[in-house]
Amino acid sequence: MCCRYLLLRDSLRDLLARLGVPGDEGDVAGFADRYNIAPCGTIPVVRTRHGRGKECVSLIWNFGLPCSSTPLFNARVESLWEKPAFREAARVRRCLIPASGFYEWEKAGRARLPWLFQLRGAEPFFMAGIWEANTCAIVTTEANELMRPVHGRMPAIIAGGDAGAWLDGGGESVLLAPFAAEGMTARRVSTFVNGARNEGVACVASPEVEEMEEGGTLPLF
């Protein structure tokens, strides 16, 4: 499952440059760092249009439906080619969703403790997606060893060199496999990110900073 993620302006520009997609036009030109992207908002998406090559557009993150309807912001890879809602898009309307990292929540009693997952070196990456009209969904796969203690699902991460293959319709079994755990990092972040309307760098602050602001003290070691 993926229901919240992070995308910084420099990451978006870097990813678009790798694909040869203009990064200074339309919505992309005015894109600002976003630390808490949630479903039902508009997000940058890269797709291929016949006769126009690759383009970056803004789509609503909730596949094929208004946000007041049943949420379809994730599409499970296991049923991607069988489920009527997704199978045509999986075949002919694929997209790439740029990201700097994504969040998942660990349950600790009644508490929800957020974790930020990124590639090593904080490298930006694409998540596999599908689109229809002005909407899209993120494709999810089984969790790798790093993710599994927190959650059983994760986005299907597309490494930079495989981006064209996903858009062109090939290599599904390899591209949608869980990303290698050794190529990723995970760290606990502030519960500030739990609020879907909260934004800014405070979302990725460490829990220690959060505790200090609440009147606690930082550990000496």
Q: Which two tokens stand for residue 142?
A: 């089984």
**Amino acid 220: pLDDT:** 33
Q: What is the pTM of this model?
A: 0.90
Q: What is the CATH number of the domain that holds 146?
A: 3.90.1680.10
> What are 143-183's pLDDT values in tens digits?
999 999 999 999 999 977 888 889 988 666 667 899 999 99
**Amino acid 219: pLDDT:** 38
Is 161 a member of any domain? yes
**Amino acid 12: pLDDT:** 95
- Number of structural domains the chain divides into: 1
| pLDDT band, very low/low/confident/very high, at 30 (cuts 50, 70, 90) | confident
- HEC readout, the chain: CCCCEEECHHHHHHHHHHHCCCCCCHHHHCCCCEEEECCCCEEEEEEEECCCEEEEEEEEECCCCCCCCCCCCEEEHHHCCCCCCCHHHHHHCEEEEEECEEEEEEEECCEEEEEEEEEHHHCCEEEEEEEECCEEEEEEEECCCCCCCCCCEEECEECHHHHHHHHHCCCHHHHCCCCCHHHEEEEECCHHHHCCCCCCHHHHCCHHHHHHHCCCCCCCC
> In this structure, are residues 117 and 184 in contact, taking their beta carbons and an 8 Å threshold?
yes
> What are 42-68's pLDDT values in tens digits?
999 999 876 678 899 999 999 988 777
Is 64 a member of any domain? yes
pLDDT surpasses 50 at 82: yes
Q: Lowest mean pLDDT of 93-102, 137-146, 161-170, name the range.
A: 161-170
Is 70 a member of any domain? yes
**Amino acid 25: pLDDT:** 67
Share of the chain above pLDDT 70, in %: 88
Is 54 a member of any domain? yes
CA 41 to chain centre: 13
| pLDDT band, very low/low/confident/very high, at 119 (cuts 50, 70, 90) | very high
Question: 86 — phi, psi (to 5°)?
Answer: -115, -25
Is 87 a member of any domain? yes
**Amino acid 212: pLDDT:** 46
**Amino acid 218: pLDDT:** 35
The maximal CA–CA distance of the chain, rounded, in angstroms, is: 60
Q: Which domain holds residue 178?
A: 5-104+122-183
Average pLDDT over residues 24-47: 88
Is 67 a member of any domain? yes
Distance, in Å, from the CA atom of 189 to the CA atom of 21, rounded to the nearest integer, reads 32
Is 207 a member of any domain? no
> In this structure, are residues 190 and 103 in contact, taking their beta carbons and an 8 Å threshold?
no
